[in-house]
Amino acid sequence: MNKKIKIALIFGTRPEAIKMCPLVKTLKENNSFDVSTIVTAQHRQMLDSVLELFEITPDFDLNLMKPNQNLWELSSDILLKTKEIFEKEKFDLVLVHGDTTTAGISALSAFYSRTKIGHVEAGLRTFDKDYPFPEEINRVLVDSVSDLMFCPTDRAIQNIKNSGIKKGYYKTGNTVIDALLYVVDNKPFNLDFIGLNDNLKTILLTSHRRENFGKPLENICFAIKELVEKNKDIEIIYPMHLNPNVRNTVIPILQNTERVKLIEPLDYAPFCTLMKKSHIILTDSGGVQEEAPALGKPVLVLREETERPEAIEYGGVKLVGTNKGKIVNTVQELLDNKNEYERMSKAINPYGDGHACEYIEKIILEYFH
Ligand code: UD1
Ligand code: UDP
């Protein structure tokens, strides 16, 4: 019998978990693989809720999150802890996801231990090192040390080629669509606990990006205030990220604002149900930019740059930035202009067909045989 291919999937934050858990499940079902799950726990509660949803118990839990952690300490902790595991376990392949500190530093660590590396969600770029910070540089780093690059779109493939990498890239779609379809089909959720008003249009808001801390996030909050004052038929739901840099800005401005609900981060199943129920989604999240077009929901992106321009080209997403007036005007147009709303909701989802995990599984098998 052939030796099993020894694979580790390593992740640490909520979005990585959402996009890697379906892959853990797919690879574990294949007898050719010996699969280990390593979590850095760069996030704790927000990670655990995803692990629970997908019923995954990590084989290694580094438990690294500290309150209001910084990039330096987190990076050195990840580097040293993964060194121990990689040296002992001698994996044939380490899979990392996306662009977080967990992704960037784990890939570097695997590279130092001369292990093959696969990058899930490879090839995304803004070509601006400050947007998003520090994620753009993490992505470049991971792709530059990877042997296999699983790209969600043609654009991502092109970015890899343009950077001079000559082999190892494949178009697979994004595993987030696999996760979304699994949850929407299998884990529908009752949202009564949020207390939505059925007579109002729900606008869903998420914002947590580092480069939006401070003034840009304040602008977003003041835009929200103006929008609910002008439009008595809308309510805003903001599941706030647990990062204190988000909450310390948002809560003082938006608490006690009529028809604005500041709530705790939602588990993934209720969040998917809330996206489905929403009229418009305002976000600076990467994952939400990919999911909402698959659900036919118009998305306004509260960032100056995006590494996910495909959905803008397809028409379901608009890049709005963080200028208060621009946010108010763009939302108002979508509320008032039925044709524009219809156009955006009917746009095609460019991020995959829900089978990305199977494509990745097949590529790994072919690579090792
Ligand atoms: C990280 C990623 C970002 C990703 C985001 C997803 C980096 C540099 N940033 O940003 O790319 O978009 O995750 O959400 O990797 N916290 C908790 N509990 C949790 C999660 C976070 O209390 O479950 C608080 C802690 O105080 C923690 C802080 O949030 O120290 C910041 O977490 P961190 O992972 O450093 O940054 P994020 O802003 O979450
Ligand atoms: N999400 C969630 N609960 C929430 C907000 C977001 O489950 O309250 C999900 C969302 O559907 C998406 C992912 O978290 O799949 C995005 O994570 P986040 O915005 O934190 O990070 P990013 O994608 O920007 O890196």
Pick from 47, 100, 106, 142 the residue to mutate for probing ligand 1's pocket: most ligand atoms within 8 Å of its CB: 100
Region 241-269: mean pLDDT is 98
| Residue 259 CB less than 6 A away from ligand 2 | no
Report the 10 Å Cβ neighbour count for 68.
8
Write out pLDDT tens, residues 316-364.
Answer: 999 999 999 999 999 999 999 999 999 999 999 999 999 999 999 999 9
Q: What does the block give as tokens for 351?
A: 């991020």
Task: For residue 264, give the ligand 2 atom closest to its CA.
Answer: 8
Helix spans in 211-323 (H): 215-230, 244-254, 268-277, 286-294, 310-314
| Residue 30 CB less than 6 A away from ligand 1 | no
| Residue 97 CB less than 6 A away from ligand 2 | no
- Quick one: pLDDT band at residue 188, thresholds 50, 70, 90? confident
Task: For residue 44, give the ligand 1 atom closest to its CA.
Answer: 23
- Catalytic site residue 208? yes
Question: Does residue 252 have a cis bond before it (omega within 30 degrees)?
Answer: no
Q: List the residue whose alpha carbon is closest to atom 3 of ligand 1.
A: 100
Residue at token pair 């292990």: 115
Write out pLDDT tens, residues 79-101.
Answer: 999 999 999 999 999 999 999 99
Per the prediction, the chain carries an average pLDDT of 97
Region 255-268: mean pLDDT is 98
Fold of 5-174+352-368: Rossmann fold (3.40.50)
Query: Do 311 and 289 meet the contact criterion of CB atoms below 8 Å apart?
Result: yes
Task: For residue 68, give the ligand 1 atom closest to its CA.
Answer: 30
| Residue 100 CB less than 6 A away from ligand 1 | yes
Pick from 242, 243, 268 the residue to mutate for probing ligand 2's pocket: most ligand atoms within 8 Å of its CB: 268
Residue 223 has a pLDDT of: 98
Question: Do the strands 116-120 and 148-151 form a parallel or antiparallel pair, or are they unpaired?
Answer: parallel
Distance 314 CA to ligand 2 centre (A): 22
H/E run at residue 202: strand 201-206
Region 293-304: mean pLDDT is 96
Residue 346 has a pLDDT of: 94
Pick from 174, 206, 297 the residue to mutate for probing ligand 2's pocket: most ligand atoms within 8 Å of its CB: 206
Residue 217 has pLDDT above 60, yes or no: yes
- Catalytic site residue 355? no
Query: Do 121 and 150 meet the contact criterion of CB atoms below 8 Å apart?
Result: yes
Helix spans in the chain (H): 14-28, 45-53, 71-89, 101-112, 135-145, 154-162, 175-186, 215-230, 244-254, 268-277, 286-294, 310-314, 324-336, 338-345, 356-368
Percent of the chain whose predicted confidence (pLDDT) is above 70: 99
Q: Of the ligands numbered here, which is closest to the C-alpha atom of 99?
A: 1
- Catalytic site residue 99? yes
Instruction: Enter the pTM of the model.
Output: 0.98
Residue 167 has a pLDDT of: 97
Residue 1 has pLDDT above 60, yes or no: no
Fold equal for 5-174+352-368 and 201-345: yes
Distance 10 CA to ligand 1 centre (A): 16
Region 30-41: mean pLDDT is 98
Residue type at 257 in one-letter notation: T
For CA atoms 171, 176, 181, 182, give the dihedral sign: positive
Burial class (CB in 10 A: 0-12, 13-18, 19+), 15: buried
Map out the domains of the chain as residue ranges: 5-174+352-368, 201-345
What CATH number matches the domain at 201-345, 3.90.550.10, 3.40.640.10, 3.30.360.10, 3.40.50.2000?
3.40.50.2000
Region 106-131: mean pLDDT is 98
**Active-site pick, 16, 43, 77, 135:** 135
Residue at token pair 């588990």: 267
Residue 288 has pLDDT above 90, yes or no: yes
Distance 272 CA to ligand 2 centre (A): 10
Residue 140 has pLDDT above 90, yes or no: yes
Helix, strand, or coil (residue 318): strand
Residue 206 has pLDDT above 90, yes or no: yes
